Structure 1
């Protein structure tokens, strides 16, 4: 009897849910790994607004946000009534992932402060669109995107201030 319970645990709905959640996290965290790392000395040389958070704050904020995004993606994938109902949520989520990474390439990689602003604003809009697309499928998933929206609002203002101070 005990082995049957263990087998159910390893192959039943809980295992499927865990695998789905891990898959969602792999997508969210993995996509970020596609962005090359950049020389940090350039960023250190920039004039920064007085309210710029210390560097250690960024991973402390982004890691929980990425976890929330992973859960949101998993919720949408598990709650969608049909595969067709996933089209818009997944498209907007994919756009949001692409635009966040592309902003990093433009800002840090190409060092185009002014050129990064339109990408930042588009990234911000893609998060709002993702939350809106998630909402009909899972209210919780939509709400899990909102902290990212708040943080990217702060990041957009910071990006704008960097442009004003350095161009």
Structure 2
């Protein structure tokens, strides 16, 4: 397939935009409310989150581009895109629920839904393009870790 730089940039920009919106909801609480919470010993320093999430959003965008390249051969392309968009919305909603609304219990249930959506997304993408699916592995691992972290923060608070 011929490389399409405009489509590539758009596919990377979409998850990065979701991340930027999520960062907006997060920023208001990181240095105020979040510091007051009891956290488990394995809670990473705040400086880790932005570069990790940025990297994950870029991997998501590359993955989406690889799937987009095969859009003409995918019989259920709208469904495939819907799954991708659902996990992006769930990703954004977690930041809003946890950091903006301060609803730890709801955030825990939401991140479990996010993790399931990410796994489903990875599987769907893998069936279309193996590399696209495999690029979701770091995202699955990070959201799994974030789920455990959210659970522990919920229990401790």
| TM-score, normalised relative to structure 1 | 0.85
The aligned residue for residue 99 of structure 1 is 90
Q: How far off its partner does 1:44 sit?
A: 0.8
- Aligned-residue CA RMSD (Å): 1.4
Answering whether residue 12 of structure 2 is matched by residue 25 of structure 1, we say yes
**CA distance in structure 2 between the aligned counterparts of 1:56 and 1:31, rounded to whole angstroms:** 19
Compare CA radii of gyration and give the structure with the larger one. 1
In the TM superposition, structure 1's runs of 4+ consecutive aligned residues that sit over 4 Å from their partners are none
Q: 2:29 aligns with which of 39, 47, 52?
A: 39
How many angstroms does 1:34 deviate by? Answer: 3.5
SS of the aligned residue for 2:41 comes to: coil
Distance 1:117 1:104 in 2: 11
- Supply the distance in 2 between the matched residues of 1:88 and 1:147 (Cα, whole angstroms): 23
Residues 72, 142 of structure 1: 8 Å contact kept: yes
SS class of match (2:45)? coil
Q: 1:87: how far off?
A: 1.9
Tell me the TM-score normalized by structure 2.
0.90
1:73 to 61, 64, 72: 64
How far is the alpha carbon of 1:84 from its aligned partner?
Answer: 4.0
Greater RCO (CA < 8 Å, at least 6 residues apart) = 2
Task: List alignment gaps of at least 5 residues for structure 1.
Answer: 1-12
Q: 2:126, 2:133 within 8 Å by CA — same for their partners in 1?
A: yes
When the two structures are aligned, how many residues end up with a matched partner? 152
